[in-house]
Amino acid sequence: MSLIQHISAEQLAKLFHHYQEALTRHFSGYMKEDPIASWEDTPQDERKVMIAAARLTLLELVSPHEEKITSSYFAKPGDAEWGC
């Protein structure tokens, strides 16, 4: 059994948020005194999106033998329409 199956989508989203904030500070040159936005301070709608993205990520990582992108949100390679 894979370790990834024991990780909840919310745990992954929280960790991702934490590291994203820390790395953003590092690469953007924020001052050390600037507070890092906590998970609890993140708007509820934004947290829901991050948790949903984490859930999809975990599902994809757990089932690597299936087609990688099965969502209707994304076009299959070569099927996207380009232009305005």
Going residue by residue through the chain, which has 84 residues, state the pLDDT in tens, using 9 for 90 and above.
466 778 899 999 999 999 988 888 778 776 555 566 889 999 999 999 999 999 998 888 887 665 555 556 666 666 666 654
- Per-domain residue ranges of the chain: 3-62
From its phi and psi, is residue 81 left (phi > 0), alpha (psi between -120 and 50) or beta? beta
pLDDT, residue 29, reads 72
pLDDT, residue 48, reads 95
Which CA distances in Å does 40 have to 32, 43, 58? 20, 8, 22
Helices (H), 1-84: 9-28, 44-62
- The Cα 40–Cα 14 span in angstroms is 9
- The Cα 62–Cα 14 span in angstroms is 19
